[in-house]
């Protein structure tokens, strides 16, 4: 495709995420939101107030030759249908996550993208979260030695958002909501294949979908992981907890509070002093001696990767590879299906992928 000075984009689905995309895209000089389509009248009114052209039908969007890109931010159950329609109409497509409710549907979309020569990608925006980038760098630089265990959590006490996300038919539930992000991040931390999966879904709120989940995952290289999402947690556990052969790191929340504690290789190990533990003494569970360890605050990332929308335009122009390859998105969906299966059967699923 010839390079354009400005690419025109239409948002389909102008709810919370759709309108948020509009705000983000305003900061991208070569990308412009020119229109919106939504089946809800008041959202169309809001879009009009923001200065966007509004379309009466999806067909009107797809027949507009000035539209280069369609961004889909609708409920999950119609992502496949709308994506394929847009691709066949000659539009490039950005689709919100989860791209589809099952992995097979994504393959159908990718096949159409390949047939039409259009670019299709999924907005896995939390690949750019700074807390994740810090952890990824920790893995790559072996800041705490060889990482053998990682825990990733997001927790709150506000329940499931009170809309279609509570309904199974629309692809609701926390595994298909926040789980997509955390599992996507996890799979980017290692090149190893998965060996086994165990999981439990939470149904505390008595909705027809999960209000949270906990999964334990073992990789072929020995790395173990716990991923947890909760919507009934009035006291949160740390966002990240990482154990390595030379130290431990913790990030408490998105404010990046936390620390890295590593072994001091410049001194001989100084045995810790026993501490009073309840009615007894323990040296095994005492903190390591100050002389034997180095404590550091969490450091921010100096050179974050190229921003999502800029990368997407570069892919359209043929000058870059996608920052969110569809095969990686597919693997996340396969993992989610495995988690559902493990939870339903209440067993460990041994499956290499």
Residue 73: closest CA among 98, 55, 110, 50: 98
Nearest-5° Cα angle at 65, 91 to 119: 15
Looking at beta carbons, which pairs linking 138-143 to residues 24 or more positions away fall under 8 Å?
138/242, 138/249, 138/260, 139/189, 139/190, 142/244, 142/246, 143/244, 143/247, 143/249, 143/260, 143/262
**pLDDT value at position 266?**
87
Taking the alpha carbons of 112, 117, 118, 120 in that order, is the dihedral positive or negative? positive
pLDDT tens digits for range 7-40: 999 999 999 999 999 999 999 999 999 999 999 9
SS3 344: helix
What is the pLDDT of the chain when averaged over all its residues? 95
pLDDT tens digits for range 295-323: 999 999 887 777 899 999 999 999 999 99
Where do the domains of the chain lie, and which CATH numbers do they carry?
7-123 (3.40.50.720), 127-257+298-305+335-350 (3.30.360.10)
* DSSP codes joined into one string, 253-315: STT--EEEEEE-TTSPPPPPPPEEETTEEESTTSPPPGGGEEEEEPPPPSSPPPPHHHHHHHH
Q: Is the pLDDT of residue 2 over 70?
A: no
pLDDT tens digits for range 141-151: 999 999 999 99
Residue 105: closest CA among 155, 47, 176: 176
**pLDDT value at position 287?**
87
Tell me: cis bond preceding 60? Omega within 30 of 0 counts: no
Q: Is the pLDDT of residue 349 over 80?
A: yes
pLDDT tens digits for range 93-152: 999 999 999 999 999 999 999 999 999 999 999 999 999 999 999 999 999 999 999 999
**pLDDT value at position 298?**
96
Q: Is the pLDDT of residue 263 over 70?
A: yes
Backbone angles phi, psi at 191, to 5 degrees: -90, -5
Other CB atoms within 10 A of residue 53 CB: 18
User: Model's pTM, two decimal places?
Assistant: 0.95
pLDDT tens digits for range 196-214: 999 999 999 999 999 999 9
Give the confidence band of 191 by pLDDT, cuts at 50, 70, 90: very high
* DSSP codes joined into one string, 151-168: EEEEE-SS-S-SSGGG-G
Give the confidence band of 272 by pLDDT, cuts at 50, 70, 90: confident
Q: Could you give the percent of the chain with pLDDT greater than 90?
A: 91
SS3 23: helix
**pLDDT value at position 1?**
56
**Average pLDDT, stretch 44-53?**
95
**pLDDT value at position 271?**
86
Give the confidence band of 5 by pLDDT, cuts at 50, 70, 90: very high
CB 348 within 8 A of CB 198: yes
């Amino acid at each position: 495709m010839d390079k354009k000075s400005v690419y025109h984009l239409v948002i389909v689905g102008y709810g919370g995420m759709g309108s948020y995309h509009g705000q983000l895209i305003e900061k991208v000089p070569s990308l412009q939101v020119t229109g919106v389509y939504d089946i809800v009248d008041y959202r169309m009114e809001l879009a009009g107030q923001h200065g966007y052209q509004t379309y009466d039908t999806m067909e009107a969007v797809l027949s507009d030759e000035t539209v280069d890109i369609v961004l889909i931010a609708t409920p999950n159950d119609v992502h496949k249908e709308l994506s394929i329609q847009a691709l066949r109409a000659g539009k490039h497509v950005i689709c919100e996550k989860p791209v589809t409710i099952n992995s097979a549907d994504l393959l159908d979309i990718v096949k159409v993208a390949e047939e039409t020569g259009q670019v299709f990608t999924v907005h896995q925006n939390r690949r750019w979260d700074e807390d994740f980038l810090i952890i990824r760098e920790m893995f790559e630089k072996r800041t705490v030695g060889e990482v053998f265990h990682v825990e990733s959590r997001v927790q709150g006490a506000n329940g499931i958002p009170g809309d279609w996300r509570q309904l199974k038919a629309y692809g609701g539930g926390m595994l298909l909501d926040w789980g997509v992000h955390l599992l996507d991040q996890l799979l980017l931390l290692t090149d190893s294949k998965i060996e086994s999966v165990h999981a439990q879904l939470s149904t505390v709120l008595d909705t027809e979908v999960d209000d949270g989940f906990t999964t334990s995952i073992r990789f072929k290289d020995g790395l173990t992981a716990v991923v947890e999402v909760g919507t009934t947690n009035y006291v949160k556990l740390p966002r990240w907890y990482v154990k390595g052969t030379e130290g431990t790191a913790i990030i408490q929340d998105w404010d990046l509070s936390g620390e890295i504690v590593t072994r001091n290789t410049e001194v001989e190990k100084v045995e810790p002093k026993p501490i009073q533990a309840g009615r007894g003494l323990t040296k095994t569970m005492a903190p390591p001696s100050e002389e034997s360890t180095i404590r550091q605050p969490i450091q921010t990332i100096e050179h974050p990767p190229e921003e999502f929308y800029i990368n997407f335009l570069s892919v359209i122009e043929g000058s870059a590879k996608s920052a969110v390859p569809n095969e990686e998105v597919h693997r996340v969906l396969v993992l989610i299906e495995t988690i559902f299966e493990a939870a339903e059967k209440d067993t460990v699923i041994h499956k290499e992928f």
